[in-house]
Amino acid sequence: MPPSEQSWTSLSATDATGQDPAVFATTHWSVVLEAQGESPAAQKALEKLCRTYWRPIYGYLRRHGAGNQDAEDLTQGFFALLLERKDLNSVRKERGRLRSYLLASVKHFLTDKSRRAMAVKRGKGQRLIPFDDVREGERIEAERSDQLTADQIYERRWAFTVLEQVMARLHEEYHGAGNARFFDQMKKMLMHEPDRPSQAQVAAEFSMTENAVKQAFYRFRQRYQTLLREEIAHTVGMPGDVEDELRHLIAVVQM
């Protein structure tokens, strides 16, 4: 079962105060902006971003009245057209943010009936976006979504996607080191889940001292903070935007 919204809210709020600066190397969105979508590296980066951050677009389309199948076709077609057009010149490099660009693009897309019809046609049979678990996620979010505008749904799904990507990366690191079960317990502690174990319980389960568990949890928390900033960096064009975007994410999750 996916974490509750309350768990994510606690997670983002309690871990946003870390002072470790994000390492802003060559991130996905900065590559796209720098090359304006024309190089193989930029195309690959843009495809990865589309595959990762489709949920906000899908949620936006659903709130605008599209049914499940129509929304899937439109989402697939929208990203297919986006990848083909490569018209990123409208994005200012110094303030370019994936979140803002995609929202502006889908709004423009919805006002253009010919492009929307083309997108529906291209969306049928496309496999760019994985929709396998979308209906289960919709069922969980349905009650909350009824209270939100299309823009708010877009923002919240963007924020939760970022947080989920961070946790997936952290899980991959621990799983790769053979510590998947330990990761599960650290995650419960970090997210204040209802079945959150105490340090004493974790210590007993893994034959550790409570002090060792405390230190392990501290390292887990610090690594989470670092990965959160790295994930945010993948969606902005300049290093200075990372902290602003992080503050925005926290505000959206607490909405």
Bridge partner residues of 236 (DSSP): 97
Q: Where on the phi/psi map is residue 135: left (φ > 0), alpha (ψ -120 to 50), or beta?
A: alpha
pLDDT at 83 > cutoff 60: yes
What is the residue whose two structure tokens read 């929307």? 116
Amino acid at 20: D
Q: How many residues does the chain have?
A: 255
| Tokens (6 digits) for 239 | 């290093």
At residue 254, the 3 state secondary structure works out as coil
Mean per-residue pLDDT, 177-196: 91
| Per-residue pLDDT at 5 | 56
Mean per-residue pLDDT, 14-21: 45
Cα–Cα distance, 102 to 106 (Å, whole number): 6
Helix count (H) and strand count (E) of the chain? Answer: 13, 0
| Per-residue pLDDT at 10 | 54
pLDDT at 92 > cutoff 80: no
Predicted TM-score (pTM) above 0.85 = no
Pick the most confident of 49-53, 98-102, 122-126, 177-181.
177-181
Query: Of the given ranges (65-69, 133-137, 217-221), which has the lowest mean pLDDT?
Result: 133-137
| Per-residue pLDDT at 3 | 53
Q: To 10 degrees, the CA torsion angle through 179, 181, 183, 186?
A: -130
At residue 97, the 3 state secondary structure works out as strand
Q: b/e per residue, 112-130, with b = 16+ CB within 10 A?
A: eeebbeebbebbeeeebbe
Mean per-residue pLDDT, 120-127: 63
Enumerate residues 6+ apart whose C-beta is below 8 A from 13. Answer: 250, 253, 254
Q: How confident is the model at residue 162 (pLDDT cuts 50, 70, 90)?
A: very high
| Per-residue pLDDT at 178 | 95
What is the residue range of 75's domain? 5-253
Mean per-residue pLDDT, 86-107: 74
In the chain, the number of structural domains is: 1
| Residue 138 burial (CB count, 10 A) | 15
| Per-residue pLDDT at 135 | 53
